[in-house]
Amino acid sequence: MESPFVSDESLAHQFQTTGDKQAFSILVSRHKDSILRKCKGYVKNEAAAQDLRQEVLIKLFLKMNSYQNQAKFSTWLFSIIHNTSIDYLRKNKRSVENVLIEKLKDKLVDLVEDEDEIPDVLSIQILEDLLEQLSPQDRTLLVMKYREEHQIKDIQQSLGLSESAIKMRLKRARERINKLHKKYKNSPIR
C-alpha cells in the first residue's frame, strides 16, 4: 500500500540503496498519469503518448542510479520525459520547434515587458525567431522554467548547470524575447 507521507526522493533513495522494487512501483504509480499527460503534450496522440510513457518508465528504471537527490524527483523525471519526447519527434520528423512554440505560447505574455496580451500570430513569430537563436539545452531550460514552472535549484541539478548559468541564460532569453517583441510589435503581421 502506498504511503502518501513518503516523499518521491525517499522512495528513489530506497530503491537505489536496497533495490526495493515496491519503492519503484510506488513512484511509477504516482507519476504514470502525469508522464502520459506530458508525453501527450508533445506528441498530441494518445497511442504514441502511451508508447512514450512506456519508454520513459524503462529509462527511469535504467537511470535511477544516476538520480542524485539534489533536485526534486519530479524535475529530474521531467528531463527524462522531455528528452525522450524530443527524440521521438526527431525520429518521426515532426517539428520540435512547433511543439515547443505551442508549449511556450501561453507563457510568452509573462516574459514580455509591459504587455497584457499578445496576438497568437505575433507570439508564434516571436517564438520561432527565438528558438532559432537558442541551443537545445536553452530551449529545455525555457520549457522547464516557464511551462513546467520548476525551481531554479531543481533545474540546476537536472541540467547540470550552475545557478548563475541558469539565471544568465534565462535573462538572455527574456532579453531576446523582448527585443523580438519590439521588432514585431508594429509590423504588418499584427
For residues 122 and 138, state if they share a domain: yes
Is 12 within 8 Å of 27 (Cβ atoms)?
yes
Amino acid of residue 86: I
Q: What Cα–Cα distance (Å) separates residue 51 from each residue in 40, 55, 138, 140, 150? A: 10, 6, 27, 22, 25
For residue 135, give the CATH number of its domain: 1.10.10
d(CA 73, CA 69): 7
Count: domains in the chain:
2
What was the pLDDT predicted at 1?
47
Is 153 within 8 Å of 71 (Cβ atoms)?
yes
Decide if 33 is inside a domain: yes
H or E stretch at 80: helix 73-91
For residues 158 and 102, state if they share a domain: yes
Residue span of the structural domain in which 110 resides: 95-190
What was the pLDDT predicted at 135?
77
- Cell readout for 165 is 548559468
Domain final residue pick, 71, 94, 117: 94
Taking the model in full, what pTM does it have?
0.66
Q: What Cα–Cα distance (Å) separates residue 127 from each residue in 17, 98, 112, 137? A: 43, 9, 12, 16
In the three-class reduction of DSSP (H, G, I as helix; E, B as strand; rest coil), residue 119 is classed as coil
d(CA 68, CA 169): 24
- Cell readout for 124 is 508564434
Burial class (CB in 10 A: 0-12, 13-18, 19+), 29: exposed
What was the pLDDT predicted at 181?
80
What was the pLDDT predicted at 3?
54
Decide if 1 is inside a domain: no
Q: Which one, of 155, 160, 128, lies nearest residue 144 by Cα?
A: 155
d(CA 146, CA 126): 16
For residues 37 and 104, state if they share a domain: no
Tell me the pLDDT tens digit for each residue of 7-30: 999 999 999 999 999 999 999 999
For residues 23 and 90, state if they share a domain: yes
What was the pLDDT predicted at 36?
96
What was the pLDDT predicted at 111?
77
Residues of the chain with pLDDT under 50: 1, 190
For residues 37 and 70, state if they share a domain: yes
Decide if 3 is inside a domain: no
For residues 70 and 99, state if they share a domain: no
Q: How many CB atoms lie within 10 A of CB 44?
A: 11
For residues 101 and 26, state if they share a domain: no
For residue 70, give the CATH number of its domain: 1.10.1740.10
For residues 78 and 166, state if they share a domain: no
For residues 181 and 90, state if they share a domain: no
